Structure 1
Amino acid sequence: MEKTLEKSMEETFRVPGVAGVLCADEHGLCLSSKGIAKKETAGQLASLARQAQQLHPVNPSPVIAIEADGGTVLIKSESDITMAVYKSPMS
């Protein structure tokens, strides 16, 4: 799983506009991070994903988008992994 996770993260990080990627387990433990994604935020990101699942029980894995002037963070939890993708603002 570790090699598959790293490969997926590397592929995602190479997409134009992606400034960071983070993966956390179901307990909020950071499995890996690249770019501007901070390991310390893994717990909060996993918690947001769990809360979103409770808000929308019909869709068990919603995508959360947090937008700000500095860019967008997309968060999705699937199985036991939460992934956050940090995107740079469009120029």
Structure 2
Amino acid sequence: MEGHLEHQVTEISQTPGVVGVICTDPQGLSLAARGTLKPESSGLVSGLATQAASLNLGNGEDDKPTIVVEFDTGNILIRGQQNSTLGIHKV
């Protein structure tokens, strides 16, 4: 499983415009990180996804929001799932 996850994160990080990728477990521990999104940011990324999911606007428990953090130099997209959270930094 770890090899597959590492492969997927590497593949995402090689997409044009992507400069960073992080994947965390539900407790916020870094499972894989590439580029600008360092393992040290795993708790923050996971926490943002958890807090956004707690807003649950009546769309069902399985409907997880996608968070977009905008900067002048790019965006960070964060989406939580049942067993992981994915963050992607795009320019």
Q: What TM-score, normalized by structure 1, do the two folds share?
A: 0.89
Counterpart in the other structure of 1:30? 30
**AA aligned opposite 1:38:** K
Counterpart in the other structure of 1:73? 76
Task: Count the aligned residue pairs.
Answer: 88
SS of structure 2 residue aligned to 1:42: helix
RMSD: 1.2
**AA aligned opposite 1:50:** T
Question: In the aligned structure 2, how far is the partner of 1:71 from the partner of 1:39?
Answer: 19
Counterpart in the other structure of 2:5? 5
User: 4+ residue runs of structure 1 moved beyond 2 angstroms?
Assistant: none
Structure 2 gaps of 5+ residues are none
The CA deviation at 1:80 is 1.3
The CA deviation at 1:86 is 0.4
SS of structure 2 residue aligned to 1:16: coil
Identity of aligned residues (%): 38
Counterpart in the other structure of 1:17? 17
